[in-house]
């Protein structure tokens, strides 16, 4: 079986595939042109895909030679799962191994915004240290505050656990289903969407993104949030309307925002949100640790090896 890997990944995954007898094709160039992408795809049996390439109806129609896809991501919003199912193509993903790293980034963003870290770091870089001033640009403490989680799966649980243990925060959540583990271990309370946005001091998104949730967090939502609330998104930029978020941050409808994902991505260099001092923005680095990225390579390889043996992928988005 010939596997096309579209970007270099940690060696552990490549070695596993080769040791299992699979042929592995990795281009020298990490940023393929459309033409190169096309010629690699049409020559492979399976893809180990890094990044947000769209696997839609058109792709599956054009490359009927592709029999399996192992995503190097936990998210699969760039795959038309219905179409893959119709064609019997398994779509592997990489859950769990990046939950800690991604929730660490949510936790980091929450604190950076609460303590105005980007604002102060910019001042230091501008050679503007300033004098001790009892009233100047104060942050807020998170002890005993309410964390609202939208989408309480593995990553949301890790975030909730850190917030509970570190700051004794109360956890509320909104999800498709009840999360009994979180209710038992973290005393998390299930609330309606409106209760979530109205009661959260920190609102953190950890759900899988679906197209129908596009711009779910818009002006009408920000209006209902507390003026002291911090909005954190480490899931997908499509969840929030970035123009509305900007307006809410400027008008003081909410207090600040921490984003590891933006809408669109990458962020446009003239996006006015970049000028605000009450935001902290990172370039989608949730899983960017050695540990998480090695784990992702291992899981993606396990998926393709299982497939090559005629077995079910162990980590699969379309079971
Ligand atoms: C994921 O694994 O889904 C990360 O967001 C990277 O795309």
What was the pLDDT predicted at 224?
98
Ligand 1 binding pocket mutation candidate from 283, 287, 317 (most atoms within 8 A of CB): 287
Domain spanning 2-97+289-308, CATH architecture:
3-Layer(aba) Sandwich (3.40)
What was the pLDDT predicted at 237?
98
Quote the strand ranges of the chain, DSSP E.
Answer: 2-5, 23-25, 46-49, 68-71, 91-92, 146-150, 170-174, 189-190, 202-205, 230-233, 256-259, 279-281
CA dist 304 and 69 (Å) reads 8
Atom of ligand 1 nearest to the CA of 98: 2
Centre of ligand 1 to C-alpha 166, Å, is 26
Rg (CA), the chain: 21
Q: Is 292 in the pocket of ligand 1 (CB under 6 A)?
A: no
What was the pLDDT predicted at 217?
98
User: What does DSSP assign to residue 85?
Assistant: H
Q: Is 73 in the pocket of ligand 1 (CB under 6 A)?
A: yes
Q: What are the structural domain ranges in the chain?
A: 2-97+289-308, 99-281
What was the pLDDT predicted at 85?
98
Atom of ligand 1 nearest to the CA of 51: 7
Smallest CA separation from ligand 1 atom 2, residue? 73
Which string of b and e fits 256-284 if b means at least 16 CB within 10 Å? bbbbbbbbeeebeeebebeebebbbbbeb
* Positive or negative torsion for Cα 83, 90, 179, 230: negative
Smallest CA separation from ligand 1 atom 7, residue? 73
Return phi, psi of residue 194, to 5°: -65, -40
What was the pLDDT predicted at 63?
98
Ligand 1 binding pocket mutation candidate from 98, 100, 205, 238 (most atoms within 8 A of CB): 98
Instruction: Give CA separation, 56 vs 22, 62, 92, 169, in Å.
Output: 26, 10, 15, 41
Centre of ligand 1 to C-alpha 267, Å, is 16
**Fold type of domain 99-281:** Rossmann fold (3.40.50)
What was the pLDDT predicted at 11?
98
Centre of ligand 1 to C-alpha 127, Å, is 36
Ligand 1 binding pocket mutation candidate from 50, 75, 237, 292 (most atoms within 8 A of CB): 75
- Same fold: 2-97+289-308 with 99-281: yes
Cβ-proximal residues to 271 (8 Å cutoff; 6+ apart), any chain:
242, 246, 262
Instruction: Please list the pLDDT of the chain residue by residue as tens digits (319 residues).
Output: 999 999 999 999 999 999 999 999 999 999 999 999 999 999 999 999 999 999 999 999 999 999 999 999 999 999 999 999 999 999 999 999 999 999 999 999 999 999 999 999 999 999 999 999 999 999 999 999 999 999 999 999 999 999 999 999 999 999 999 999 999 999 999 999 999 999 999 999 999 999 999 999 999 999 999 999 999 999 999 999 999 999 999 999 999 999 999 999 999 999 999 999 999 999 999 999 999 999 999 999 999 999 999 999 999 999 9
Q: Is 89 in the pocket of ligand 1 (CB under 6 A)?
A: no
Full-model pTM:
0.97
CA dist 217 and 222 (Å) reads 7
CA dist 128 and 148 (Å) reads 36
CA dist 91 and 88 (Å) reads 9
Label the pairing between strands 23-25 and 91-92.
Answer: unpaired
At 285, list the tokens: 């680095």
Catalytic residues: 236, 265, 284
Cβ-proximal residues to 78 (8 Å cutoff; 6+ apart), any chain:
52, 53, 54, 55
CA dist 166 and 111 (Å) reads 11
């Amino acid at each position: 079986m010939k596997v096309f890997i579209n970007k270099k990944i940690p060696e552990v995954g490549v070695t596993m595939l080769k040791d299992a007898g699979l042929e592995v094709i990795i281009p020298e160039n990490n940023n393929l042109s459309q033409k190169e992408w096309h010629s690699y795809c049409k020559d492979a049996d399976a893809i180990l895909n890094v990044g947000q390439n769209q696997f839609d109806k058109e792709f599956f129609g054009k490359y009927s030679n592709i029999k399996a896809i192992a995503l190097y991501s936990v998210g699969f919003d760039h795959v038309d799962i219905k179409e893959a199912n119709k064609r019997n193509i398994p779509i592997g993903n990489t859950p769990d191994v990046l939950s800690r790293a991604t929730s660490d980034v949510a936790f980091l963003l929450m604190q950076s915004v609460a303590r105005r870290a980007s604002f102060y770091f910019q001042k230091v870089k501008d050679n503007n240290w300033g004098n001790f001033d009892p009233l100047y640009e104060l942050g807020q403490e998170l002890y005993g505050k309410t964390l609202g989680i939208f989408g309480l799966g593995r990553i949301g649980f890790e975030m909730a656990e850190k917030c509970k243990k570190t700051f004794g925060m109360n956890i509320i959540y909104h999800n498709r289903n009840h999360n009994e583990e979180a209710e038992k271990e973290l005393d998390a309370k299930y609330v309606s969407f409106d209760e979530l946005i109205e009661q959260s001091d920190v609102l953190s998104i950890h759900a899988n993104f679906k197209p129908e949730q596009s711009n779910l967090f818009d002006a009408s939502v920000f209006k209902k949030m507390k003026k002291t609330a911090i909005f954190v998104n480490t899931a997908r930029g499509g969840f929030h309307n970035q123009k509305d978020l900007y307006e809410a941050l400027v008008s003081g409808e909410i207090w600040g925002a921490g984003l590891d994902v933006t809408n669109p991505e990458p962020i446009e260099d003239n996006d006015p949100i970049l000028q605000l001092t009450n935001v902290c923005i990172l370039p989608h680095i949730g899983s960017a640790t050695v540990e998480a990225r090695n784990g992702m390579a291992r899981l993606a390889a396990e998926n393709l090896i299982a497939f090559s043996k005629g077995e079910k992928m162990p980590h699969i988005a379309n079971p």
